[in-house]
A and B are shown apart, each in its own frame.
Chain A
Amino acid sequence: MRPKAWIVVLSALLAALHLAILAAGFIAPYDAASQNRDLSYAPPTHVHLRDASGWHLPFVYRWIPDPDGYREDTSTRYPIHFFTRGEAHKILWIFPSNLHLFGVDEPGRILIAGADSFGRDEFSRLLYGGQISLAVGLLATFITLAAATVVGTVAGYFGKWADEFLMALGELFLCLPWFYFLVGARAFLPLHVSAAGTFLLLIIVIGIIGWARPARLIRGIVLSARNRNYVLAARGFGGSNFYLLRRHILPETFAILLTQAALLIPQYVAAEATLSFFGLGVSEPVPSWGNMLSALQQYNVLVSYFWLLAPAAALVITSVMYWLLADVLHHWIQSHSIN
């Protein structure tokens, strides 16, 4: 495929993914917090088309507990309905609705990706969790890289005391004992932080911790680009600092920014789980990919309930798509600028 086609396909896929996550309330069959205590660790429901009486439209059976986990209760069929009424939710946090893309009649339950320890629908949690995780991951990456670009450029281009000061500051941030710092920081915050507050907090904490490393990378590139012959020539022709940075130096950093972004997004989504450990993350019952993944830190969960790996799969797929997009964009821009 040509790079342009790749870009279109990947962008479309990513757009679809983000739309699905934005419209979580509509696509998810259940509320992310609604527990069903008889379905603790229930596996994904099987969708059937056929039973003893012949072919039917897609339907599911109920899970009933069994000494070895769960088995299907084949006495009643629960057909899958589309555009059905169910639990109330809000589309885009504003418009109240109870319309869902699909669902089954109570007491049947459709669990596409199984259930967690509280019997909550993993698929619904995945969609709702994506809202926070992706927003945090993308925004924090953007903020980190923006700060890193400013700091790195100033340090690398202007050098001297600005360089010394900014890089010393960066080193200070890299060697801070974050564990104690975060425990201390938590003590100053109110016990319960609202969802919006948590969101801001996560971005700020991740941004503060994260800027130093990419800033050093960018500084290195700016430093080496500054003394290239074509830059010196441009300067000789009277180019201003701003012109030199914009036209010749910052484009050099573009590749590293893209690869950094591709690496940082999944890292930051997972970082949220670590921060939950200090009471700084998203707390129960609100899902995020990070806190869903933290259930897998228990050995028995990891080896017994494969469907709880769904957030990891979602994270990998999203990251790979971003990474590929960054890659093809990079190539496309390069080939474009040569032409």
Chain B
Amino acid sequence: MRSIARLTVVVCLLAASGWAAAPAPAAINSSEDLQRQDGDVGQYGGRLVIGQRAEPKTLNPVTATDAVSREVIGRCHADLISINRMSQKTEPALAESWKTSPDGRSFTLKLRKGIRFSDGQPFDADDVVFSFNLYLDEAIGSPQRDLLVMDGKPLVVTKLDQYTVRFTLPRPYAAAERLFDGLAMLPKHLLEKSYHEGHFAQAWSLNSAPAEIAGLGPFRLKQYVTGQRIVLERNPYYWKADRNNQRLPYLDELVFLFVGGEDQQVMRFEAGETDMVSRLSSENYSLLTKEQSRSGWQLADLGPSLEYNFLVFNLNDVNAGKMGEIARKQAWFRDLKFRQAASAAIDRDSIVRLVYGTRGTALWGNVGPGDKLWMNQSIPHPQRSLDAARQLLKSAGFSWNGSGQLLDPSGKPVEFTIVTSSSNTQRIKMATLIQDDLSHLGMQVHVVPLDFRAMLDRVFQSFDYEAAIMGLGGGDPDPNPEMNVWMSNGATHIWHLNEAQPATSWEREIDTLMQQQMITLNYAKRKQLYDRVQQIIAENVPFIFLATPDVLVGAKSQIGNFHPAVLDHYTLWNADQLYLRAATRGVERAGIR
């Protein structure tokens, strides 16, 4: 008898340590300037488990570069102005309102009053100024710094009073308020010391004690177990409330399990060990749909993503002595008709069907149908045509020999390699389809899968490749993040890097248009400029656009307020509003690990 009693005590204690420790939301104080959220009113309690592909590398929002770290960090911090994931437009966050000066260079932001960090300390303009100093400090090397520096000059942050901050840009910048999305506001009281002592880059590592870390996001760090999981708990002082004036978030805990790759994420979800999956491949998605009737999962195909996959030919200035073979083939690649012919011969519908299992969309430009605000609808979508491709090649001086092999104007056979990442099975599939498509034109194409980093090194450093299949995009739908791809001096101007001058007249025109759109504040005018950019790109084929996958996500049926979006983070962007429906929560609790 006694042993049973003891056992019960132990079980209760274990349950208490594992569960009840989540802090209750703090009572709402009338001086707090809370943001009211629409959406279903949920119930408090429960934990949500997410499977992650890898382990985060840091919890420092200023230095984190990898998506996995940012996935966790994003739940613990908040920004001044957010991009609403559903409407793709900006909305107030920590700044409850803002004014733009008529010249578009200065922004005056009013901060929410009386709100607190997750450790209970108040938030005000000093924290904002401090945070921007961190992002702008060259010594820290934040990846966000590039966004905040224009023409080599940083934006200037001034505190006007305790709850008002002014940002002055070095030059007009369209949609500058979008810059604030994702820039976490950090607690000066916790980080000032390490910053002044010069070891900020080491602050907030995975080994930091939860008490050393605080943010303005819906959750705060509770526990990190190396190699296994990271547990976040409710931030009791979070600054959002639901329609019934209950403080968010509803969930007690958010747990990230480190499971490995995408397949493991799917297996864990199937086994019921995790509650949500995002960025599913179409194959895994159809696997889950087969079990949907039994499991009752909420699976969603959100339509085309903002990612674009493309084939690019190496048009870089290569050293003809060292890479003579590539230099010789560049004569073909530089010929617009050659690129157009390749584009005409590629069967994009097959790619959508075989690579994405029809859960994707063929692309003919850099802006796909996933981008509601910016896509140029007038870009033509020509059907695949081998005849058109042959005509183009013929008019460019190419010919065919008796066995159907394509010969260049000097009589040499057309043969080249396509490199792609060996860990991306979808792109290897695209390459294999393209190889077959182009063989119908008599081109001999070799597919060479390389280790991802080795491939990037060839594309960005040594230029020792002939053609590559890659993917870009996926973040903000605005044209500004695309600047580094299309500006001739951009860091991601993949087909021809390090151009001192625009190499062609159309690249020069794109440069002018992109710069113009950046300082044009009117949306309709900006759209006109960006439409023209898309048109020039489609006409000159620096990339042969292939296809974009749909955003595919899933969640258990008992999760309420599940509103996935095509923008990152697809399923957790509204983690503060997610809740577990009551009927199933008891079962969930019984399953506590």
Contact = CB atoms under 8 A, between A and B. Distances in A.
A117 B287 contact: no
B425 interface: yes
B154 to A, nearest CB: 38
A192 interface: yes
Contacts of A95: none
A304 interface: yes
Given A191-B417, A191-B448, A284-B432, 20 more contacts: A33-B436, A37-B347, A37-B353, A40-B353, A40-B354, A117-B354, A183-B453, A186-B451, A187-B454, A187-B457, A191-B466, A192-B417, A278-B450, A284-B431, A284-B435, A297-B425, A299-B263, A300-B287, A301-B283, A304-B287
A283 B448 contact: yes
B417 A279 contact: no
Interface of A: 33, 35, 37, 40, 117-118, 183, 186-187, 191-192, 276-279, 283-285, 297-301, 303-304
B353 to A, nearest CB: 7
Nearest to B288: A300
A284 B422 CA distance: 12
Contact of A283 (B425, B447, B453): B447
Contacts of B354: 37, 40, 117-118
B450 A186 contact: yes
B267 interface: yes
Contacts of B431: 284
A279 B422 CA distance: 8
Contacts of A277: 422-423, 449, 451
Given A191-B419, A191-B465, A298-B425, A285 B436 contact: yes
A302 to B, nearest CB: 9
A298 B423 CA distance: 11
Contacts of B330: none
B259 interface: no
Interface string B424-435: 010011011101
Closest 5 CB pairs of A and B: A299-B263, A300-B283, A192-B446, A284-B432, A279-B450
A236 B149 CA distance: 87
Given A118-B354, A278-B422, A299-B266, A283 B449 contact: yes
Interface string B445-481: 0111111011001000000111000000000000000
A279 B418 CA distance: 12
Interface in B385-437: 417, 419, 422-423, 425, 428-429, 431-433, 435-436
Main secondary structure of the interface of B (DSSP, over half): helix
B436 A35 contact: yes
B448 A183 contact: no
A118 B432 contact: yes
Nearest to A68: B290
Contacts of A297: 425
B454 A192 contact: no
A167 B453 CA distance: 34
Contacts of B223: none
A37 B287 CA distance: 21
A192 B448 contact: yes
Nearest to A281: B449
B470 to A, nearest CB: 16
A278 B432 CA distance: 17
A27 to B, nearest CB: 23
Interface centre among A192, A276, A304, by most B CB within 10 Å? A192
A277 B353 CA distance: 25
Contacts of B287: 299-300, 303-304
B350 interface: yes
A304 B288 CA distance: 11
A35 B439 CA distance: 12
B404 to A, nearest CB: 12
Contacts of B454: 183, 186-187, 279
B158 interface: no
Contacts of A37: 347, 350, 353-354, 433
25 contacts: A33-B436, A37-B350, A117-B354, A117-B429, A118-B432, A192-B417, A192-B446, A192-B448, A276-B449, A277-B422, A277-B449, A278-B422, A278-B450, A279-B449, A284-B428, A285-B432, A285-B436, A298-B425, A299-B266, A299-B287, A300-B263, A300-B284, A300-B286, A301-B283, A303-B287
Nearest to A33: B436
A187 B465 CA distance: 11
A297 B262 CA distance: 11
B569 to A, nearest CB: 23
A118 B432 CA distance: 9
A274 to B, nearest CB: 11
Contacts of B432: 118, 284-285
Nearest to A300: B283
